[in-house]
């Protein structure tokens, strides 16, 4: 399993998703976020939303 840095927004987001008990798919669907954008945030490729 990939480790995520909790000091980054993406790592913190993944930790919150896991704590919520939802899958990442359930999370980004409920948050109305497109899949590519969600994974770009998680991987640090784009800045998080304001």
Write the pLDDT tens digit of every residue in 2-49: 677 888 888 999 999 999 999 999 999 999 999 999 999 988 899 877
- Structural domain contains residue 49: no
Contact 13, 20 (CB under 8 A): no
Statement: residue 1 has pLDDT above 60: no
Task: Tell me, yes or no, whether 1 lies in a domain.
Answer: no
For residue 2, the model assigns a pLDDT of 65
Domain assignment present for residue 19? The answer is yes
| Alpha helices for 1-50 (secondary structure H) | 9-20, 24-30, 35-42
- Residue 27 within a domain: yes
| Domain, as residue range, for 26 | 9-42
26 belongs to a structural domain: yes
Whole-number Å distance between alpha carbons of 46 and 42 = 9
Structure tokens at 23: 């899958």
Q: How many structural domains does the chain have?
A: 1
User: Contact at 8 Å (CB) between 12 and 6?
Assistant: yes
């Amino acid at each position: 399993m990939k480790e995520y840095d909790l000091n980054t927004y993406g790592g913190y987001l993944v930790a919150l998703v896991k704590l919520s008990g939802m899958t990442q798919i359930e999370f980004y669907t409920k948050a109305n976020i497109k899949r590519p954008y969600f994974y770009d945030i998680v991987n640090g490729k784009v800045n998080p939303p304001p």
